[in-house]
Structure formats: C-alpha cells, structure tokens
C-alpha cells in the first residue's frame, strides 16, 4: 500500500481544495485597488487608514457610513492596515485566506452531516473556484462577503454540533456566530431558515408525518420555535440595515423602480443566476438595471423555469430531499438581494451568489450521481465528469480574476460584455484619468453621458479630463452643465481653471 493510499480521503480533498483555490486566486496578491468602493472602504477612508485604535473601533460600531452597518468588516480592514500595511497585497491576502477557510469549513461540515467525502468535496470545489465567486474574493471592498461567509460556516458548524447533542452552551455558540456574521454583512438574515432546511435533510430532525409521539425527531412547529431567537436577531438586523440604507440614500425610489418592475427583474434574475452558474460567461463588475425594458418572453421563460424546478423538487421531496433543500436554499438566500427592495441601480451582482451557490451545488452533487446510476454504475464516469467540470470552471475563474488586476482592465471588460453601462464608462473615465490617458477618458465620459443624461458628477469629471488635456473652453461648458444639474464643483478646481482660462461664457 502506497503512502498516498494510506492518507485519509478528507486530508487529500482538503489539500486539493487549498491548492486549486490558490492556483486560481493567488494572482490577486499582485492586483491593485480598483476605483469602485475600494476608495470608500480603504484608500480614502480616514478610519481604516488610521488602523486599529479605540477611536476607530468605536467608529466602526456607530457609523452608518456608505449606508451600511457592518462593524466587523470595518475592523478587519483596519487590522489589515495596522498589521500588513497600506499596500493592496495585504488586503487581498486576507480575502484569499478567508475564502480558503470558508472552502475547508464547507467541506468538513458537509462531510460530517452527509457522510459523503467525494460529493462534499465536489460542492466545496465548486464553491472554491466558481467564476461567480471571483468578485467576492478579488474585490477588497467585498471583504464583507468572505468575512460574513466565515461566520455563516461557523454558525452552521456550531448548529451541527448542537443538533448532535443539544446543550445551552452549544446553542449559545450558534447565536454568537450568527450575530458576528450579521455584523459583517446583514445578508445572513436568511440563515435561520437554512437551518430549518438542514433539519429536514440531511440532519433529519423533522419527525415524519403520522409518527408516534415517542418517535425520534421534532415537529416542524417545535423546530421553528427552537429558532425563534435567531429569527428575532435577524429581524433586528433587518431594521438596522433598512434604516442605514434609508439614511444613506441607497434605497431606490418606487418612481424609478415600480413594484411590478422589481418583481419582473427578480424573477428574471433568479433564472439568469441559474444560467450564469451553468455557463459563467460575460461576467461583469456591474450589470445595469433594465428598468421597464425587460422583455415579456424573458419573464415568461424565467417563470416557467422557476416553476418547473419547484414542482419537480416538491414531487421528489421524499425520494430526493436534497433537491428541495438545495433549491430552497438558493431561492431563500438570494431573497434579500434579489431586488424586491431595490438597493442601488444594479440588476444583479456576482457577489450575491457567494452563499446561494452552495444550495445549487448540493442539489447537483447528490442528484446527478443518482440519475446516472442506472446508466453508468461505474463511478469512473462521474469522477471524470466532476474533474472536467472543476478544471473548466477553474480556468474560467482564473481568467475572470485577471480582469480585476486594475481599474482600467476591470471597467473595460464591463463595457465589452454589457450594454448601456453608464456606470462602467464613468468609472473607466476616472481610471483612465488616473493614468493620464485623457483623450480616452474623455471618450469614456461622453459615452457615459450619452447613455445616462444628465449626470452632474460625470460632467464634472469630464471637465477635469478636458482641463488636463488643455481643452479649457470645453471644460467650462462641462462646469456649467455640472452646476445646471445641481452640483457645485470644488472651488479649488474653479480657481485653477480660471487661472488657465477665464470663463468665456460669463
């Protein structure tokens, strides 16, 4: 017997997961900050740049900066600044390490509750390297994803131990990890419902219908009551988040996104996320909201797809409970960010799939082998297929990660794979201005304005690029448009521009 054959399969799978994650995402250690919230979260954030101290930790707990309340995310970024310095590699390293920890925890938890090493390993591999997860790992400002993901895994792990032997201490650990996760990102509010799904399968804590009172298990009502403290904590988090986003102006008004538009976009987004999971192509940092231009055929097809899978999952709920659990995991965990409550102006975002993808992966990892068993009893076909899928996704993720190496590359890519992306062109203009590529920046700004007129911020940024290129008369035109649309340019810039050319339009 060889040395490798004597190593426990869990260790081999864990080593493989670490290796493939580093192979895909190790390149981020050479990436720069990007001009999309990295300034808000790190480079121009006074508290983060000051590092860890009493004042900044207090600020992290009381601030609603950037329309969010996530003190642990702020503190983790401050810790990076204190211990790893101001360069981007340290922040990227922490994101990578957190993601690796999440991958390993997911594998170990699934292995413990299902008993299957290889299926659990496949789910963890998809979680590790799926291209939809690139944004969460490669974007410093999305620290909240990988950090809250860590506490998601720890909460589920603590709950598994509690389910095996319920004690007050173990239940307290579940609650504590859940609270910490919400303090990193409030998207974890759906976690209590996911624990109910795990009660159904694979923990099988739900007492079958018609079972006697002395039979093992709990009624559904008992399991819901058990989790009432978690639901109460989630409700408080929702209230805090809503108030923070309302105060920060992040909630889009119903005049811009009426309820029917939000419902149709949510339905289409659920289907698009499924498509992107299977065929992750055309991924971008920002997807413009279609508003009222959603095609009727998209709504109909999306509705039929969602309804068909739901009916199938319900029909097979006894023979294939993992399908219902995985499907509901996907639907429920996406619910806070699916757009029914519209925050921002995006249609959807890759980062929102960080946790929901697990549900789909579980459903596939358990369903496909069962469906193929009558056709191919040999496991070789399954192993080869799983390996091919993993390697193909890893290659796609490696390429997608490369687009995050700097701002120009990131936003150029977004303009190539999306349509009418005013935000991408505006940020591309800023990035090109940073590199003193003023003519290209001017073209990008003008394209942004063509798509989305008016925009006082873009008009001002265009004025800056025009001034830097020496076109002072055109710069003055953009300054007047900036003022016309309700913004006041910085006095310092006005004085500088006046010194180069007095306002010819006054």
Question: Is residue 413 situated within a structural domain?
Answer: no
Query: At which of 372, 402, 432 does a domain end?
Result: 402
Q: Which pLDDT belongs to residue 379?
A: 76
Q: Are residues 65 and 115 in the same domain?
A: yes
Spatial CA neighbour of 270 closest among 227, 238, 299: 299
Q: Which residues contact 246 (CB under 8 A, 6 or more apart)?
A: none
Q: Which of 138-142, 183-187, 204-208, 399-403 has the lowest mean pLDDT?
A: 204-208
Query: In which domain, by residue range, is 190 found?
Result: 9-402
Question: Is residue 232 situated within a structural domain?
Answer: yes
Mean pLDDT of the chain: 93
Q: Which pLDDT belongs to residue 478?
A: 95
pTM confidence score: 0.95
Spatial CA neighbour of 438 closest among 463, 421, 457: 463
Q: Which pLDDT belongs to residue 121?
A: 97
- Percent of the chain past pLDDT 70, that is, above it, reads 95
Query: At which of 402, 433, 453 does a domain end?
Result: 402
- pLDDT tens per residue, range 35-80: 999 999 999 999 999 999 999 999 999 999 988 999 999 999 999 9
Give the distance from CA 470 to its chain's centroid.
41
Q: What average pLDDT does range 367-388 have in this prediction?
A: 83
Angle (CA) 349-278-353 rounded to 5° is 30
Q: Which pLDDT belongs to residue 292?
A: 81
- pLDDT tens per residue, range 77-109: 999 999 999 999 999 999 999 999 999 999 999
The Cα-based distances of 347 to 99, 268, 329, 427, 450 in angstroms read 25, 10, 21, 18, 20
Please report the DSSP string for 159-176 in residue order.
HHHHHHS--HHHHHHHHH
Question: Is residue 465 situated within a structural domain?
Answer: yes
- Say if residue 374's pLDDT is above 80: no
The Cα-based distances of 482 to 446, 455, 457 in angstroms read 14, 8, 7
Coil/strand/helix, residue 90: helix
- Say if residue 214's pLDDT is above 70: no
Question: Is residue 309 situated within a structural domain?
Answer: yes
- pLDDT tens per residue, range 149-170: 999 999 999 999 999 999 999 9
Q: Are residues 462 and 383 in the same domain?
A: no
Number of structural domains found in the chain: 2
Q: Are residues 349 and 430 in the same domain?
A: no
- Say if residue 376's pLDDT is above 90: no
Q: Are residues 35 and 92 in the same domain?
A: yes
Inter-residue contact 415 to 401 (CB < 8 Å): no
Does residue 202 have a cis peptide bond before it, meaning omega lies within 30 degrees of 0?
Answer: yes
Give the distance from CA 272 to its chain's centroid.
15
Coil/strand/helix, residue 251: strand
Q: Which pLDDT belongs to residue 91?
A: 98
Q: Are residues 447 and 371 in the same domain?
A: no
Q: Are residues 433 and 351 in the same domain?
A: no
Q: Which of 16-20, 77-81, 139-143, 493-497 has the lowest mean pLDDT?
A: 493-497
Question: Is residue 428 situated within a structural domain?
Answer: yes
Spatial CA neighbour of 193 closest among 363, 318, 329, 317: 329
Spatial CA neighbour of 161 closest among 151, 171, 149: 171
Q: Are residues 327 and 299 in the same domain?
A: yes
Q: What average pLDDT does range 3-12 have in this prediction?
A: 76
Question: Is residue 201 situated within a structural domain?
Answer: yes
Q: Are residues 467 and 372 in the same domain?
A: no
What token pair was written down for 254? 């119903």
What confidence category does residue 32 fall into, taking pLDDT thresholds of 50, 70 and 90?
A: very high
The Cα-based distances of 370 to 166, 251, 323, 329, 373 in angstroms read 33, 44, 11, 20, 5
Q: Are residues 72 and 132 in the same domain?
A: yes
- pLDDT tens per residue, range 465-486: 999 999 999 999 999 999 999 9
Inter-residue contact 185 to 239 (CB < 8 Å): no
Please report the DSSP string for 20-72 in residue order.
HHHHHHGGGGGPPP-TTTHIIIIIT-HHHHH-SSHHHHHHHHH--GGG---HH
Question: Is residue 448 situated within a structural domain?
Answer: yes
What confidence category does residue 1 fall into, taking pLDDT thresholds of 50, 70 and 90?
A: very low
Q: What average pLDDT does range 187-197 have in this prediction?
A: 97
DSSP 215: S
Q: Are residues 73 and 196 in the same domain?
A: yes
Q: What average pLDDT does range 106-131 have in this prediction?
A: 97
Give the span between the Cα atoms of 272 and 199, in whole angstroms. Answer: 29
Q: Are residues 356 and 482 in the same domain?
A: no
Q: Which pLDDT belongs to residue 2?
A: 52
What token pair was written down for 298? 């998209």
Q: How many CA atoms lie within 13 A of 136 on its CB side?
A: 29
Question: Is residue 278 situated within a structural domain?
Answer: yes
CATH classification of the domain holding 458: 1.25.40.10
Query: At which of 348, 374, 402 does a domain end?
Result: 402
What confidence category does residue 372 fall into, taking pLDDT thresholds of 50, 70 and 90?
A: confident
Query: In this structure, how many other beta carbons lie within 10 angstroms of the beta carbon of residue 95?
Result: 24
- pLDDT tens per residue, range 216-256: 789 999 999 999 999 999 999 999 988 888 777 766 666 67
- Say if residue 317's pLDDT is above 60: yes
- Say if residue 3's pLDDT is above 60: no
- pLDDT tens per residue, range 245-292: 877 776 666 667 888 999 999 999 999 999 999 999 999 999 999 988
E strands in 393-479: none
Inter-residue contact 67 to 248 (CB < 8 Å): yes
Q: Are residues 309 and 458 in the same domain?
A: no
Q: Which pLDDT belongs to residue 118?
A: 94
């Amino acid at each position: 017997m060889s040395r490798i054959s004597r190593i426990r399969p869990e260790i081999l799978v864990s080593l493989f997961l670490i290796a493939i994650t580093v192979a895909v995402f190790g390149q981020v250690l050479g990436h720069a900050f990007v001009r999309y919230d990295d300034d808000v979260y790190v480079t121009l954030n006074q508290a983060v740049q000051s590092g860890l101290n009493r004042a900044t930790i207090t600020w992290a707990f009381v601030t609603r900066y950037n329309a969010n309340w996530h003190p642990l995310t702020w503190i983790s970024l401050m810790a990076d600044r204190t211990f790893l310095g101001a360069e981007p590699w340290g922040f990227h390293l922490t994101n990578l390490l957190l993601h690796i920890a999440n991958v390993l925890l997911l594998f170990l938890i699934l292995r413990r509750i299902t008993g299957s090493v290889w299926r659990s390993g496949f789910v963890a591999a998809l979680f590790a390297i799926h291209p939809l997860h690139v944004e969460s790992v490669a974007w410093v400002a999305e620290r909240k994803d990988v950090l809250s993901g860590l506490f998601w895994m720890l909460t589920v792990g603590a709950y598994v131990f509690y389910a095996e032997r319920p004690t007050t201490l173990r239940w307290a650990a579940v609650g504590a990890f859940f609270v910490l996760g919400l303090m990193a990102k409030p998207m974890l509010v759906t976690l209590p419902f996911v624990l109910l799904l795990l009660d159904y399968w694979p923990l099988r804590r739900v007492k079958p219908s018609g079972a006697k009172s002395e039979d093992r298990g709990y009624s559904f009502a008992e399991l819901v009551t058990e989790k009432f403290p978690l639901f109460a904590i989630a409700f408080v988090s929702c209230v805090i988040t809503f108030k923070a986003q309302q105060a920060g102006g992040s909630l889009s008004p119903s005049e811009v996104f009426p309820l029917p538009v939000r419902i149709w976009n949510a339905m289409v987004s659920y289907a698009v996320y499924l498509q992107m999971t299977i065929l992750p192509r055309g991924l971008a940092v920002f997807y413009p909201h279609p508003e009222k231009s959603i095609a009727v055929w998209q709504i109909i097809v999306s509705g039929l797809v969602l309804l068909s899978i739901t009916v199938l999952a319900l029909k097979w709920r006894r023979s294939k409970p993992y399908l219902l659990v995985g499907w509901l995991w996907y639907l429920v965990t996406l619910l806070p960010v699916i757009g029914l409550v519209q925050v921002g102006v995006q249609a959807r975002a890759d980062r929102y799939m960080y946790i929901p993808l697990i549900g789909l992966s579980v459903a596939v990892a358990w369903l496909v082998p069962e469906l193929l068993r009558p056709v191919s009893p040999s496991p070789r076909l399954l192993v080869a297929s799983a390996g091919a899928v993993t390697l193909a996704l890893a290659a796609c993720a490696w390429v997608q990660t490369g687009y995050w190496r700097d701002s120009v590359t990131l936003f150029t890519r977004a303009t190539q794979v999306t349509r009418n992306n005013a935000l991408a062109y505006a940020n591309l203009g800023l990035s090109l201005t940073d590199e003193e590529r003023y003519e290209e920046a001017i073209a990008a700004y003008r394209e942004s304005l063509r798509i989305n007129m008016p925009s006082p911020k873009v008009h001002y940024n265009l004025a800056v690029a025009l001034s830097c290129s020496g076109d002072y008369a055109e710069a003055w035109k953009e300054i007047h448009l900036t003022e016309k649309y309700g913004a006041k340019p910085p006095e310092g810039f006005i004085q500088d521009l006046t010194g180069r050319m007095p306002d010819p339009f006054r």
